[in-house]
Amino acid sequence: MSVRYLTAKLAQQIDEELMSATGAFSLDQLMELAGLACAQTLATVYSKEKYPRVLVCCGPGNQGGDGLVAARHLGMFGYKPTIWMPKPGSKDIYKRLKTQCDNMKIQTLAPADDTSTLRDVLARSDVILDAIFGFSFKPPVRAPFDTALPLISDSGLPIVSVDIPSGWDVEKGNAEGVGLNPEVLISLTAPKEGVKTFAGRHFLGGRFVPKSMEKFDLNLPEYLGFDQIVELPRAGTQKL
């Protein structure tokens, strides 16, 4: 059977159950596992020998937290990540993840109202990890990201998006035409409805999903060996 693609409501329900007394996961745990899967996906497709300079673009929510974890792991893998987050998250967990990156000597760009800083760092980067918006995003794209997404898109750099490409609706996809168009997508827990037609390389990172979640009929594929990710068939090669 094909893997199940989630609506926004079901994705939220599964997240809540994972962090409930029944699921017993903490947000810290889920972010750590998700961020590790994101870092492994980028490293699988883009070697540090050819693509050492990674621009990690983080939003202010949990998606950005996944990006901060990924940046730390990428640093440990031997990459040279730089963090761009013009609107840092205010939660304690976000601040702690940022401190962990600081302790790894990972550069974070100072927030700026203009786009010159982003232009400069894009010119010095080899690949982008897009961890700006998550599955709760609803258009339109607001400042400061409304001017940043076109710059990222026009950079010509390969993009790896976390869970859903930034600017896409979780169920309607890139219907507004304002979202990023990544070469690689790493879906977390299970893929979302809006990426059914995604044509690039598509990975899944959700090896933490317990057997108790079988009631949702996710039909998740097997993870091989000790990998934290598994590649999904490209759009059009399986019945969705």
Segment (H or E) for 40: helix 27-45
166 is in an annotated binding site: yes
Exposed/middle/buried for 113, CB within 10 Å: 0-12, 13-18, 19+? exposed
CA distance 111 to 100: 19
CATH topology for 8-232 is: Rossmann fold (3.40.50)
Give residue 117's pLDDT. Answer: 86
pTM: 0.95
Q: Report how far apart, in Å, the C-alpha atoms of 189 and of each of 93, 111, 211 are.
A: 20, 31, 13
Q: Is there a binding annotation on residue 210?
A: no
Alpha carbon distances (Å) from 131 to 76, 182, 211: 19, 12, 28
Please indicate if the annotation marks 163 as binding a ligand: yes
Is 65 one of the annotated binding-site residues?
A: yes
Nearest to 70 by CA among 132, 135, 124: 132
What pLDDT, on a 0 to 100 scale, did the predictor assign at position 113? 55
Check whether 13 is labelled as a binding-site residue: no
The domain locations on the chain are 8-232
The reply to whether 154 sits in an annotated binding site is no
Q: What is the per-residue pLDDT for 75?
A: 98
64 is in an annotated binding site: yes
Q: What is the pLDDT of residues 60-108, one digit of tens each?
A: 999 999 999 999 999 999 999 999 998 888 899 999 999 999 999 999 9
The predicted-structure confidence for 29-52, as pLDDT tens digits, reads as follows 999 999 999 999 999 999 999 999
pLDDT of the residue at 237? 55
Per-residue pLDDT of 2-31, as tens digits, reads: 899 999 999 999 999 999 988 999 999 999
